[in-house]
Homo-oligomer: A and B are copies of this chain.
Amino acid sequence: SRSLNLAVIPGDGIGQEVVAEGLKVLSAVLPQDVKLETKEYDFGARRYHATGETLTDADVEALKKHDAILLGAIGDPSVPSGVLERGFLLKLRFLFDHHVNLRPSKLLPGVATPLAGQPEIDFVVVREGTEGPYTGNGGTIRKGTPHEVATEVSVNTAFGVERVVRDAFARAQARPRKKLALIHKNNVLAFAGHLWTDIFNKVAEEFPDVTTEYMHVDAATIYLVTQPERFDVIVTDNLFGDIITDLAAAVSGGIGVAASGNINPSGEFPSMFEPVHGSAPDIAGQGNADPTATVLSVALLLRHLGYDAEAARIDEAVSTDLAERTGKPARSTSEIGDALAVRVAG
Given contacts A191-B138, A226-B114, contact A144 B81 (CB under 8 A): no
Task: Select one of B85, B153, B198 contacting A187, CB under 8 A.
Answer: B85
Decide yes or no whether A338 CB sits under 8 A from chain B.
no
How far in angstroms is the closest Cβ of chain B from A110? 15
A225 and B242: CB pair below 8 A? Answer: no
A150–B247 touching, CB < 8 Å: no
- Which of chain A's residues 212-252 have a Cβ closer than 8 Å to chain B? 217-219, 221-222, 224-226, 239, 242-247, 249-251
How far is it, in angstroms, between the C-alpha of A213 and the C-alpha of B222 when the chains are bound?
25
What is the 8 Å Cβ interface bit string for chain A, positions 126-168, against chain B (1 contact, 0 not)? Answer: 0000000110101110101111111111111111001000000
- Using A115-B114, A151-B154, A221-B243 as known contacts, say yes or no to A82 and B188 having CB atoms under 8 A apart: yes
Q: B246, A188: Cβ atoms under 8 Å?
A: no
Q: CA of A243 to CA of B243 in the docked complex: distance in angstroms?
A: 9
The CA-CA distance from A146 to B199 in the complex, in Å, is 10
| Contact A90 B188, beta carbon cutoff 8 Å | yes
Residues of chain B within 8 A of A162, CB atoms compared: 146
Residues of B within 8 A of A116 (CB): 113-116
Instruction: Mark A44-85 against chain B: 1 for CB-CB distance below 8 A, else 0.
Output: 000000000000000000000000000000000000011001
Q: How many copies does the complex hold?
A: 2
Number of A residues, CB within 8 Å of B: 65
Please report the C-alpha to C-alpha distance between residue A150 and residue B144 in the assembled complex, in whole angstroms. 30
Does A153 lie within 8 Å of B152, measured CB to CB?
Answer: yes
A72 to chain B, nearest CB (A): 18
Also in contact, A191 and B225, with CB within 8 A (given A81-B186, A156-B150): no
A250 vs B157: C-alpha distance when bound (angstroms)? 33
Q: Is A185 an interface residue (CB 8 A)?
A: yes
Nearest Cβ distance between residue A85 and chain B, in whole angstroms? 4
Do the beta carbons of B154 and A195 come within 8 Å of each other? no
Determine how close the nearest CB of chain B comes to the CB of A62; give it in whole angstroms. Answer: 26
Indicate if the CB atoms of A191 and B147 lie closer than 8 Å: no
A189 at the A/B interface (Cβ < 8 Å)?
A: yes
Verify if A259 is at the interface (C-beta below 8 Å from B). no
Given contacts A138-B191, A186-B82, A188-B133, are A155 and B159 in contact (CB under 8 A)? no
Asked if B198 and A225 make an inter-chain contact with CB atoms under 8 angstroms apart, the answer reads no
Contacts A187-B85, A225-B251; A192 near B243 (Cβ below 8 A): no
With both chains docked as a complex, state the minimum distance between the C-beta of A164 and any C-beta of chain B, in angstroms: 15
Tell me the minimal C-beta distance from A111 to chain B in angstroms.
Answer: 13
Determine the distance from Cα of A222 to Cα of B244 in the docked complex, in whole angstroms: 10
Instruction: Given the known inter-chain contacts A221-B243, A222-B255, A247-B221, please indicate yes or no for A138 contacting B154, CB distance below 8 A.
Output: yes
**B192 pairs with A138, CB closer than 8 A:** yes
Nearest chain B residue, comparing its CB with the CB of A239: B185
22 contacts between A and B (CB under 8 A): A81-B186, A85-B187, A114-B225, A115-B116, A133-B188, A138-B154, A138-B189, A139-B191, A147-B157, A150-B192, A152-B191, A153-B154, A185-B239, A217-B243, A218-B245, A218-B246, A218-B247, A219-B246, A221-B221, A221-B250, A225-B250, A225-B251
